[in-house]
Every structure is written in structure tokens, then in C-alpha cells.
Amino acid sequence: MTTVGVATRQIKPAAVVYCEGNFASVDGKTANGLIHQSDSYEIVSVIDSSKDGVDSGVALFGHANGIPILRDIDAALHHLDVKPEVFIYGLAPSTGRLSQVDRDVVSRAIAHGMHVVCGLHEFLGDDPFFRDAAKKNQVNIYDIRKPKPNHVLRIFDGSISLVKSKRIAVMGTDCAIGKRTTATILDKALNSQNVKTILVATGQTGLMQGARYGVVMDALPSPKRRDGSCARLVLAIGNQDTDIKGLGSPSGIQIIGSTSDHMVVHSQSQSYKAGSEIKFSLNYSAFSRAMNSCDVETFVFDNASNRTLGALQ
């Protein structure tokens, strides 16, 4: 008896990407990214009346990819024999919110029975109008930027240092300078050379594209008090500077974790702000390593006069 294995391919839901007036521009970076790569959705069209009839590949890359740019949602709905299942809001406006025109378009998508995917700072699922409309039309709203409940989140504890695989950090000086696109290209190139690589997304577009791991960094709740002081702090000292286990914390400070060059602490009482200094006591191990670290400045301090006498050479 011969057993025959049948390989199955997961069918991606068909999606329309809305990017009115901004496709192939900076504010259209979410739509641009999804046209560049999408493992989660089958992108069937882009909505942008300013480029109606143009191939999205031609507009973005200079060569055709077969995904048309259409004038409005009606054209997108009638472009194919089968109605698209998903409406993706592909704009990234500086306001982080929907305009009234965009609200009307999203409302129409819901009315046509399309699930809505949105990466704005404004959570559409929390809007009573959209929430009720989605319930009425039996569709879902996915706010990609919405953080998980607090009980699911955890404080940074430095456990990333236990990961032994090589890591490549892709950084830039602007929010739309090409970091994710560069990372995506690197990921593809390395995997094509049989170098097993996984991209960890740090923004909404990466997650929409289908990244298996990641979090929208700028959407994580900030542990700030009402007066602007911080409950949790990142200090510019780490394992390469001293023996963290040998530090004695001042009252109200609890060490959460550390990496090679940073330490995370929890402030239980004192109010600290950016630039504040915190004094720790050191045991022999911490003192010895700090004195021999080339990255730690050392000074002679006179307790009697409560002043610094000078730096050690």
C-alpha cells in the first residue's frame, strides 16, 4: 500500500488597499509595503484616484506587477468576479487619524461586508459607529497598533541576550526612510542563500505583511505618571560596565534586568525624568569592574564637603 502525501497551500484572503492621493509617496508607506510584499493577503487592487488606471508596480518600482490602481471603492468591488474579503487602510498620515472622507470610505467597505485592517493610532474598533456597523454586517475590525492587555505584556528583562543567533539591527533617522523595506530585502536575500532568517517587525506594516514575530513599538503603553515622571527607566549602564548583581539600589528602586550596555529599573516612589541621576552602592565585584571599564567615568568625591574633587586619570 502506498501512502500519497498531498501538499496544501494556504489561500490568502483577497484584499483591497486604500491609499487615496498618496500611493508611491511617503504617507502611503503602508500601501507601498504591502505591494512590495504581502504574505498575509492577496492584494488585488489599490485605491487612489490620482493614479487611476496605472499599474501599481509601474508607479512604485517602474515595472508592472499586475495589481491595478483604481479610482474608488466601487471600482475595486467590481474589478473582480469575487468580492474582496478585506479592506486595508494603507495610509500613514502624520495625524494618525482618519479624515472625514476616509471615514466614509471605511464605512462603505464595512457596509459591503469587508473586514477592515487599520494601523493608525486611532483604534476603529473602539469607535461606536464603526463597532456597531461591523457587528451589523458581521465583519471584524483589526486595529494592528492596539496593544495587548496589560496583563499579557511584560517588562523588558534582558532575556534577548540569551538568544545566540546573529542579529542585524536596521535603523534610520526617520519614520519613513526605508528601514522595513531594507530589512525585508535582507531577509529574502539571506533565505535565498539558505541562511535561515526571520524578520522581527517593529511597526504595523511589517505585521500586516505577515511577520511571524514582532510588536508595534510606538504603540506600547508608556509607564508614565500623570506628572510626566517615569515608573520604569532605562539607565545607561550595563553588564560590560559593572557587575549588575553587585549594585545596591537606593530606596524605591528595583532592578528589573540588564543588557550589555543598559539597565532597566522600576521606580516605586521617587520621581525621575530624562537626565536624572540615580546613585547605587557597589560591592567589591561591581566596584572593581566599574573602575576597570573604559566606558565608565570615575571621579574623586569628598563626602565631607559633598563635592567632586576631580576625575581620575
**What SS3 class is residue 290?**
helix
190 and 254 co-located in one domain:
no
Residue 6 lies in a domain: no
Show the domain range for 203. Answer: 159-219
Q: Are 216 and 203 in contact (CB under 8 A)?
A: yes
Residue 287 lies in a domain: yes
165 and 248 co-located in one domain:
no
Residue 274 C-alpha from the chain's centroid: 23
Which DSSP category does 215 fall into?
-
Task: Return the pLDDT at 70.
Answer: 98
* φ/ψ bin of 266: left (φ > 0), alpha (ψ from -120 to 50), beta (otherwise): beta
Residue 101 lies in a domain: yes
CA distance 196 to 108: 42
Contacts of 61 (CB under 8 A, 6+ apart): none
CATH number reported for the structural domain that contains residue 46 in this entry? 3.40.50.720
Q: How many CA atoms lie within 13 A of 275 on its CB side?
A: 0
39 and 95 co-located in one domain:
yes
Residue 53 lies in a domain: yes
41 and 117 co-located in one domain:
yes
Q: Which three cell numbers stand for residue 147?
A: 496593544
23 and 121 co-located in one domain:
yes
Residue 3 lies in a domain: no
Task: Return the pLDDT at 159.
Answer: 79
Task: Return the pLDDT at 9.
Answer: 53
58 and 137 co-located in one domain:
yes
Torsion, Cα 123 210 214 193, to 10 degrees, reads -160
Give the domain-ending residue among 114, 143, 172: 143
**How many CB atoms are located within 10 Å of the residue 27 CB?**
17
264 and 285 co-located in one domain:
yes
Amino acid in position 2: T
Per-residue pLDDT of the chain (313 residues; tens, 9 = 90+): 444 544 445 689 999 999 999 999 988 999 999 999 999 999 999 999 999 999 999 999 999 999 999 999 999 999 988 899 999 999 988 778 899 999 999 999 999 999 999 999 999 999 999 999 999 999 999 999 998 887 787 766 777 778 888 999 998 887 778 999 999 999 999 999 999 999 999 999 999 999 999 999 888 776 555 565 567 889 999 888 999 999 998 888 888 888 888 998 888 766 777 888 888 999 999 898 888 888 888 777 777 777 766 666 5
CA distance 59 to 52: 11
Domain count, the chain: 3
201 and 236 co-located in one domain:
no
Task: Return the pLDDT at 224.
Answer: 58
110 and 215 co-located in one domain:
no
Q: Which three cell numbers stand for residue 183?
A: 530589512
Mode of pairing for the β-strands spanning 247-248 and 281-282: antiparallel
Task: Return the pLDDT at 1.
Answer: 45
Task: Return the pLDDT at 277.
Answer: 86
CA distance 30 to 47: 13
Q: Could you give the C-alpha distances from 294 to 235, 240, 263, 298, 312, in angstroms and in order?
A: 17, 10, 18, 10, 12
Q: Are 241 and 290 in contact (CB under 8 A)?
A: yes
Task: Return the pLDDT at 309.
Answer: 66
Task: Return the pLDDT at 312.
Answer: 62
212 and 132 co-located in one domain:
no
Give the domain-ending residue among 116, 143, 170: 143
Residue 153 lies in a domain: no
43 and 130 co-located in one domain:
yes
Residue 71 lies in a domain: yes
Give the domain-ending residue among 143, 167, 199: 143
Strand ranges in 153-223 using DSSP code E only, listed in sequence order: 200-201, 213-214
Residue 8 lies in a domain: no
pTM: 0.72
Q: At which residue does the C-alpha cell 526612510 appear?
A: 177
127 and 24 co-located in one domain:
yes
Strand ranges in the chain using DSSP code E only, listed in sequence order: 14-18, 42-47, 69-70, 86-89, 115-118, 141-143, 200-201, 213-214, 232-235, 247-248, 253-258, 263-267, 281-282, 299-302, 307-311
Dihedral pair phi/psi, residue 205, rounded to 5°? -65, -40
With CA atoms as reference, report the closest residue to 155 among 254, 273, 270. 254
